[in-house]
Amino acid sequence: MRGARQDASTVIACCCLVLLTSGLQTTAVPTGGETTSALPLFDPSRSSSANMEMSLPLRVRYSDANTELTGVVCRDDVRLGEYKGRVAFACWTTAPNQMFWSRMGNGVLGLAPRYQKQHDEDKHPLPPPMLLSLTSPKAKDSNVAGMPPKFAFMASKSAAELQMGGFVPGSVQGKMRTVQSLSTKSYTLSIGSIKIGNDFDTAQELLTFDPTDKHHHIPALLDTGSPCIMLPGSQENGKLLKSPYSLYQDHNKKWSKMFITVNGMDIGLELNREDLEVEHHTFLDEAWGTSLRPCVMPVTWAMKPPHQTPIVLGAVFFRAYNVLFDLSRSSPTVPPDIGLGKINPAYNVIGISDYAVNVKGGDGANVHRVFVQHTPTKITSKSPEEVGVANPNGHQFLAQIFMGTPRQPLRVVVDTGSPLFGLFVSPDAVGKYNGADTGVAHRRPPPLQVFPPPSLDSTADVAERLGIVPGGARRRGA
């Protein structure tokens, strides 16, 4: 039976933008009639404040997913909760097939550090992340110019929320503990231990480091766009005595907690099993029906030596911990700060009827709570060779934004694993914007600003893009 489980785990569909799909051919974005009416596309031809810079093309390739998106730089008015302003973003006019399209909703709200990727495949500058554009002290059309560029993210099993500007003190038990990211290009923790069991002392260790290895460390990406806790399925080029995922599979005893040791923090993380559980509808469950099991999977992509394949702390992790992402001190040589606070079970995640409210944050500054739709993951399969992640939109976390004049309500994937804010636009809308009669008088803004020079080679592999290097060292810029 363990062999069957191992076979089943070799084909896993991941849900973050970087890992979403593999080997797909790029085709035209579907027109409005081919997509679901529940997820209308952004239509710049219907916005009097929109500007499509047709002379500024974009082409982005996600090397680990063999996925390419093409389009142009756009600029328009955006509103996320009460944060509003005019920003530059990507208008994607081509994308992979319909599966990719339906999973991505209207687009992606990338919240990763800007230094992960600043230029596209053709060396054209990419727009900066939306949060940095809105909070920049030089922003002229933003109501939050000069605000600290930081946010927190947490979830329950039925909802989630963004906390813009900091974190809500009542949302965590005790204090928010902070540590510096390993990389300037991603939100990466240094993990020294992961155990499963009922108490720390007797729990099964999943990271069995070779005694001769000098650096007892595995990087871990904090990624809202991935569904599960994902463990390396290899020995990491001899760094480990056995693969963490195989040790997890071989553990036959019932366990109630997962213990994670983060290097640089004075206290360990403790996740309850029920926080990690999701529905499984697999070939193994047919005789017994749906079962609830922890959402733990193998990482299905590997780094080339000497880089390390990271652990991924995906959507279920945010049910246990409110995570603060602080870009206030971030620079090409200084990584962002990451805060981790155990979620207070008495705290109520904001509801859809509230959508957005202002409260005082942990440092006394204003924090803006924004509702995020949470669609829990379901694990499905029909055979040992076919295992995937299924939910209505493919992602767990979708935030509502409003674009343009008049406002167009859109739902975008909240993704801490990628930096780019991009929306899908149909070719029909592009044609109308470029000359067809729409009845909308466009205000033509001045040309987009010239972005800073790149700090990252856009053709680098995923290890370089995420800033993951051997031995746990930090990459200082590019």
Q: What is the pLDDT of residue 426?
A: 80
Domains of the chain, residue spans: 2-469
pLDDT > 80? residue 303: no
Task: Please give the backbone phi and psi of residue 57, each rounded to the nearest 5 degrees, phi first.
Answer: -75, 160
The dihedral over CA atoms of 423, 428, 431, 432, expressed in degrees to the nearest 10, equals: -90
Whole-model pTM: value is: 0.81
| Whole-Å CA distances, 188 to 55, 134, 161, 182 | 36, 24, 21, 5
Q: What is the pLDDT of residue 402?
A: 94
The string of pLDDT tens digits covering residues 358-370 is: 787 777 678 888 8
Burial class (CB in 10 A: 0-12, 13-18, 19+), 428: middle
pLDDT > 70? residue 216: yes
Single-letter amino acid, residue 217: H
pLDDT > 50? residue 188: yes
| Whole-Å CA distances, 196 to 193, 201, 412 | 10, 10, 34
C-alpha–C-alpha distance, residues 79 and 134, integer Å: 10
Q: Which of 83, 172, 154 is nearest to 356 (CA)?
A: 83
pLDDT band at 177 (very low <50, low <70, confident <90, very high): very high
pLDDT > 50? residue 392: no
The string of pLDDT tens digits covering residues 12-39 is: 233 334 433 222 222 333 333 333 334 6
Q: Which of 414, 400, 73, 92 is nearest to 223 (CA)?
A: 414
pLDDT band at 281 (very low <50, low <70, confident <90, very high): low
pLDDT > 70? residue 59: yes
| DSSP state letters, 97-114 | -HHHHHHTTTEEEE-S-G
Number of Cβ within a 10 Å radius of residue 444: 7
C-alpha–C-alpha distance, residues 239 and 398, integer Å: 37
Q: What is the pLDDT of residue 41?
A: 85
C-alpha–C-alpha distance, residues 248 and 246, integer Å: 5
Question: What is the bridge-based pairing of β-strands 277-281 and 378-383?
Answer: parallel
The string of pLDDT tens digits covering residues 89-133 is: 999 987 654 455 555 678 889 999 999 988 898 999 999 999 999
If you average pLDDT over every residue of the chain, what do you get?
77
Q: Does domain 2-469 have CATH number 2.40.70.10?
A: yes
C-alpha–C-alpha distance, residues 103 and 176, integer Å: 33
pLDDT band at 309 (very low <50, low <70, confident <90, very high): confident
Number of Cβ within a 10 Å radius of residue 425: 27
